[in-house]
Structure formats: C-alpha cells, structure tokens
Amino acid sequence: MFSFALGVGTKDSAGNWLEVYYPEPTLNPDPALVAPVLKALSYAGGNQATELTTVQASTCAAAVSDTGLKLQLEHLQTSKKPLVAVILDTDDKPGSVPEAYLKLHLLSHRLVKPHGINLDGIFAALPNVAWTSQGAIAIDELANRQLQARLAGENLEVFSIDKFPKMTNYVVPKGVRIADTARVRLGAYIGEGTTIMHEGFVNFNAGTAGTAMVEGRISAGVFVGNNSDLGGGCSIMGTLSGGGKEVISVGENCLIGANAGLGFPLGDRCTIESGLYISAGTKVTVMDSDLNPVDVVKARDLANKNDLLFLRNSQTGIVECRTNRSKVELNAELHSHN
C-alpha cells in the first residue's frame, strides 16, 4: 500500500468535498495495522476515498491494535464535520479532493520530496475555494454566507480565493520559521532549519532540503539544496512556467542575490549577482581563471555545474561566468528554530 490516512474535512451544500485535514498521514503503512479499517470499509483494492461515519470510527477504534491509529479514531468519533478514509494502493494521479489533499499533506509532512509523488491533474482535482475566517466556503455560497454573517453581527473575512490553502493551517513542520504564513502553500516541503522571511514564497511541490534563507520566490517544482540563500525579491522560474518540463533546482551552498532570477538548474556552490536574471537561453561568456573570454554558451549548457559565479560586466553589459571563489555561510544561530 502506498499511503493511508484518516481525515476530517469540509463539504459544500451539495455534498462535494472542499478540503480535508489529515492529522497523521502515513506512507507505506503496515497492512496489518490498518486491516480493521479496510475491513470496515469493505475495501477490495485500488485507490479510494470513502466517507467514514462516527459509528464506523468507533468500530474500527475497538478493533485496531496500533495505539496511534486507535487514538486518531477515538478523536474522530467526536467530529461534527465529515470524516474520510483514504486508501492509496498505488501512486496514481489524484482522482478526488481527498486524494489530492493527502498527497499535499505527504509533501508538507516531509514524507516525500518534491517530484517524489504523482501530482498529475491536481489542478483539475482541486476546487477553487474561498478561504475565510469561518473556514473553507464554496465560491457560489460565499455571498450568502457573507450576508448571514452581517445579519448576525459577525465579520466574515476572506483571506484568499485559491485552489491551495496555506500550509500552516494543516501542517507546521518541525524547526522552521515563517514570517508570513500566507506565502507558503500546502504541498510545500520546508526543510528543518529553513527561515522564510516576509517576502519569501514557497509553492506546492517545491521547497528546501534543509537549512536555508528564503527571501525570494520558490516556484512550483523547484527544490533548493541545503545551506543556500535566496536574496530579497529574487525569483526562480517554476517547472510549470511556460509549460516547460525542465526541473529547475538550486544546489547546495548557493547564493541568488537580491532581485536576481534563475531559469535553469543550478549546481552546488554557485552565485548569481544581485539584479541579474538568467534564463535558460541567456548568452553567457565563459571566462578562464585570468578573466579572459573562452567561449559563449547558452546558460542551459551550464546546468548543474558547480562553483560558478554569474554576473553582468558593468562596462560591457555582457553576462559572464567565472569561477566562484566565495563561500555561502548561513548564521547557524539564526536558523536554529527549536
């Protein structure tokens, strides 16, 4: 079995799932531990999301032997919101809202890394939702709910209209600091020791492997290596940008300067100077150790190569690639978030 989880979620008035919260999703669970739940649901194989009644939750709690799973089921018995059990026999593309939310949880719980799970078709699987101070609300029901709140003397605040909620409403990974939680989507993988400042942004299926400083944008599909620093206002082109298939990443011990940009995979110990945006097709003059031009290549030809320094010559305007002799050293005290 690929994954199993018990969740509590929200439906619209027509009975369609809007979102699901999974307190303890599992990856490759022991079949024997979840067998009582599968039996109660008459599971016959495949991937499925089944609404769970409180009676079923009680029956399963009495039958399971695993202490953690038993406690989950006992807690779920008290729910006033819809319950769901999701069984993913294989890692196929998500076929429902509960399945999609389980996969996003697996990423943010650090159980799988970006590109380590099948998310094909996830945009089609997820509904666009109003995320409010009263929880998830279907878009076509929002106006009525706003009126009801006004009449009751309450304030219904709408934080966003989006397919993806903010991560911290579902998962708060250990050992991170996030200055503005609205800028990190559920499905982000945030490594322990990462600091995300107010202007930092991390999309789903993207993130940081470990200690990192994020003051720029990590787009969908981008994974940043350990001990790298993304300067204020910098941007990394996402895998989805322009419909491209190239996986764009940042290696370890890299520095992307303020307001700089990256559109190809960067190796380890590389630096891009502030304000310089390098796309895959940017013409780059490669310099030798004496700063003599050796060749002119497209930036994509330097993908995943280590120890490179990219800058724009202030006299000629030419983008140059030199050997990087600087070392990125993040403040260990700053990134210790116990």
Cite the active site residues. Answer: 215
129 phi, psi to nearest 5 deg: -130, 150
Closest CA to 210 of 196, 224, 231: 224
Can you tell me whether residue 36 is helix, strand or coil? Answer: helix
Can you tell me whether residue 228 is helix, strand or coil? Answer: strand
Terminal Cα distance for the chain, rounded: 34
CA distances from 98 to 93, 102, 212 (A): 12, 6, 31
Cα(2)–Cα(46) distance, integer angstroms: 10
Cα(314)–Cα(309) distance, integer angstroms: 15
Please report, as a single letter, which amino acid is at residue 335.
H
Cα(28)–Cα(333) distance, integer angstroms: 36
Cα(19)–Cα(113) distance, integer angstroms: 22
In this structure, what token pair is assigned to residue 137? 């609300």
Are 321 and 301 a contacting pair, CB within 8 Å?
no
Cα(154)–Cα(193) distance, integer angstroms: 39
Query: What is the residue whose two structure tokens read 């930036």?
Result: 299
